[in-house]
Amino acid sequence: MGSTWQSILVYTFIWGSIYLLISLGFSLVCGVLRIFHLGYGAIFVIAAYGTWVFMEDVGLGLIPSIALMFLVQIGFAVAIFYRGVFQRYLEEEETLLTMAVLIFIALTHLANYLYPVTAGVSIPTTLIDDILKIGTVKIAYQMVLAALVGIIVTLVFVAMFLKTRVGLIIRAMSQNIQAAMLMGANVRKMYYLAIVLSVIPPTICMLMIAPFWGIDPFMGSPLLMTAMLVAILGGLGNLKGSITASYLIGFIHASVSFLYMSRFMGLAALVVTLIVLMIKRGGLFAGETLW
Amino acid sequence: MVSLEFKRDRLQLRWGDQKYEWEIEPRYWRNPAIGVLLLAILPLFVYSYPNILTMFTTANLYAAIAIPLGLQMIGTARVNFGPQLYLGLGGYTSALLNLHLGWSPLATLGATILACGFLALLLSPTTFIAKGLYFSLITLILPLTFLDVTFIYGDIFRGEVGLTGMSALFNLGKVRWNYLGYFYVSLLLMLLYLWVSDKIGRSRFGVTLAAINENEDVARMMGVDINRYKIFYFVFPSILTGIVGWFIVHTFRTFAGVTYLPLDFMIKILIIVIVGGRAYVYGAIPGAYLISAVEDSLRALGPINYVVFPLVLIGLVLILPRGEGLWGLYHKRHHRDYFPLFHVRR
């Protein structure tokens, strides 16, 4: 029984940190633009398949491929999602959400058409190919590193929001957009910045988890689901909420997996989220601000 | 005491305290009648092409899902991203009861209504607990969770392949006649939904639709019991959607959660609402027929059609007038024609 609880604790930390990395960009867009980025799953698809295209089809090395993929990622987020959809349909909720999902679906099917599962897409981003032993729990180093990267990226983001002028403006916008505009905040510029920042954590996440998660064209949907669940449970675009919710969902997943059956972990997380919403309207941190 | 009176544009019947009115001026019924007639004679031209007939039946069913969704979106002032949950629940309830307990289609219809009504009632507090985007996200996740359940309990739901062999709603003896019969029953179902939604929209009860949609707080201040109406506008369309699931089970005689529960299916329905014209309940019909035709024609392209189809849908949203859709285009050109509509500013 002791080893089971050790496993639960270790995997709560690992999965919670990875879920945090998955959902950070989604929460950022929620907090700043006050919209749900339902095309968020596309970022994971571009991260994996973009890197693969530059490596395999163009013949570049891993690092240049990742660098170019980042440029494509940012360009796609700004030109297609922000300028093409969010800016245009900000006042028409259902059209905005539908268009974002349609772009995501088109991209997913394009990836599936060009590189189906049988194509064997893989990204060689394993940093340490070994097993770590924590007490009685054995775990791949890559998973631990992915979790640590998740924490580091979150800390960098939090520090930026709390300690820099840009962070102050973004927080002000998330609290009251009209007041921020009256105080001279360049809202348009900050929206662009938020969109660019929002693609960084999921892209890093994809690169870190690619060796053990498995890449397939339809992986964006479950990852989007995780990000949405964290956002709902934590509170609309609140980073404190996202951090808490990530680890809470990590704990639920780990507990259900080790104490009952792993196939029920998604269902259990959803049931807990619904119960929390019934008790506490708007999630754990319902302040509707970024921090 | 009964009295019959001809007004300028309507026939009025008084019976005691009750008053009944029928619009008799042609402009009130001519174009809807032509529309219904066109839909009714449509299969006569494609009688020998079962594929096209099935496409039209599918279009009717899409419209039968989109019409209650439109009503629900306006009545709850929220975008429901998961009406397919009730489609799945209705489908699986009737399929499982029919297959395992041998219930007749009529009995499974009752069970479907009860199951969908119960679940919708259970979930209806979300319409006032969850704010706009939260509501969308919760409703988006629920059918995907149900899809997960169909995979987890694959021995019951047969998540990957679906359930087959349910009893047919009717059998006319010949396959072609059955196709024709299913088209007309689906058409009747769609027109019934349209008529009910239209009646609700134009009744005093329906005035609350616009009030809730315009401004919930103001409506509450004016004495509208917002929560009670929201429960109705959430539960009733959900039951209507569940009935479509029942219809699919007993006509196509196969039902797979993997077809109806994923996000792709829901997006198709939302696009029908948007392309048809989101403020117009009638817009669901041209929207559904257009989307079905596009989907069916693109299948000829092979596997790439899965990429092209969403791109075409994006193109349609970009091309059509914002918020007005196909029905808005028609209404602009024939502004003197009278059509009941939900013209609600959002």
Q: In chain B, whose CA is at the least distance from the CA of A233?
A: B134
Q: In chain A, whose CA is at the least distance from the CA of B131?
A: A282
- Pick among A102, A223, A285 to test the B interface (most B CBs inside 10 A): A102
| B 49-108 residues with CB < 8 A to A | 73, 79, 81
Judging contacts by C-beta atoms under 8 Å, the chain B residues touching residue A282 are 131, 134
Q: Is B140 on the interface with A (CB under 8 A)?
A: yes
Q: Is A282 on the interface with B (CB under 8 A)?
A: yes
- Residue A1's pLDDT is 65
The predicted model gives A1-20 an average pLDDT of 90
In degrees and rounded to multiples of 5, residue B165 shows phi and psi of 85, 20
**Band of residue A91 on the pLDDT scale cut at 50, 70, 90:** confident
Question: Do B275 and B321 touch, CB atoms closer than 8 A?
Answer: no
Residue B30: which residues within 8 A CB-CB, separation 6 or more? Answer: B337
Question: Is B31 a member of any domain?
Answer: no
Question: Is B288 a member of any domain?
Answer: yes
- Residue B172's pLDDT is 85
- Residue B154's pLDDT is 87
Provide the domain limits for residue B238. 46-333
Residue A204: which residues within 8 A CB-CB, separation 6 or more? Answer: A21, A149, A153
Q: Report the C-alpha gap between B148 and B159 in whole angstroms.
A: 8
Task: State how many domains chain B has.
Answer: 1
- Both tokens of residue B203? 């009744």
Q: Is A189 on the interface with B (CB under 8 A)?
A: no
Check pLDDT > 90 for residue A39.
yes
- Each residue's pLDDT tens digit, A229-242: 898 888 877 888 99
Q: What is the CATH number of the domain that holds B250?
A: 1.10.3470
- Pick among A23, A35, A45, A274 to test the B interface (most B CBs inside 10 A): A274
Question: Do A66 and A117 touch, CB atoms closer than 8 A?
Answer: no
Question: Is B232 a member of any domain?
Answer: yes
Number of Cβ pairs < 8 A linking chain A and chain B: 98
The dihedral sign for the CA sequence B127, A102, A223, A236: negative
Q: In chain A, whose CA is at the least distance from the CA of B144?
A: A225
- How far is CA A22 from each of CA A27, A58, A78, A151, A232, rounded to the nearest angstrom? 10, 28, 19, 12, 14
> How is B201-263 classified by DSSP, letter by letter?
HHSHHHHHHHHHHH-HHHHHHTT--HHHHHHHHHHHHHHHHHHHHHHHHHHH-EE-HHHHSSH
ipTM rounded to 2 decimals: 0.90
Q: Is B315 on the interface with A (CB under 8 A)?
A: no
Question: Do A25 and A197 touch, CB atoms closer than 8 A?
Answer: yes
- Residue B169's pLDDT is 87
Cβ pair A278:B137 closer than 8 A: no
- Residue B328's pLDDT is 75
Measured at the CA of A137, the angle between CA A136 and CA A138, to 5 degrees, comes to 120
Q: Report the C-alpha gap between A224 and A41 in whole angstroms.
A: 5
- Residue B343's pLDDT is 44
Q: In chain A, whose CA is at the least distance from the CA of B129?
A: A281
Q: Is A119 on the interface with B (CB under 8 A)?
A: no
Question: Is B26 a member of any domain?
Answer: no
Q: Which domains does chain A have, with CATH numbers?
A: 2-279 (1.10.3470)
Across the interface, of B142, B304, B314, the residue whose CB is closest to A102 is B314
DSSP-derived 3-state class of residue A217: coil
Q: How much is the mean pLDDT over chain A?
A: 90
**What 8-state DSSP symbol labels residue B321?**
P
Across the interface, of A102, A225, A228, the residue whose CB is closest to B310 is A102
Instruction: Identify the CA nearest to A224 among candidates A70, A31, A85, A39.
Output: A39
Instruction: Identify the CA nearest to B96 among candidates B163, B168, B170.
Output: B163
Is residue A164 packed enough to be buried (19+ CB in 10 Å), middle (13-18) or exposed (0-12)?
exposed
- Residue B128's pLDDT is 81
Cβ pair A106:B310 closer than 8 A: yes
- Residue B337's pLDDT is 55
Question: Is B339 a member of any domain?
Answer: no
Question: Is B11 a member of any domain?
Answer: no
- How far is CA B36 from each of CA A84, A201, B216, B330, rounded to the nearest angstrom? 38, 53, 36, 16
**What 8-state DSSP symbol labels residue A235?**
-
Residue B280: which residues within 8 A CB-CB, separation 6 or more? Answer: B324, B325, B327, B328, B331, B339, B341, B342, B343
Residue given tokens 């019924």 in the structure block: B29
- Pick among A96, A98, A229 to test the B interface (most B CBs inside 10 A): A98
**Band of residue A291 on the pLDDT scale cut at 50, 70, 90:** low
Whole-model pTM? 0.87
Question: Is B344 a member of any domain?
Answer: no
Question: If chain B, 346 residues long, is cut into consecutive pieces of 10 residues, what is the mean pLDDT of each piece?
Answer: 80 84 78 88 86 92 92 84 92 94 94 96 85 78 86 86 89 86 94 90 78 80 84 93 95 91 87 79 88 92 93 90 76 60 45
Question: Is B27 a member of any domain?
Answer: no
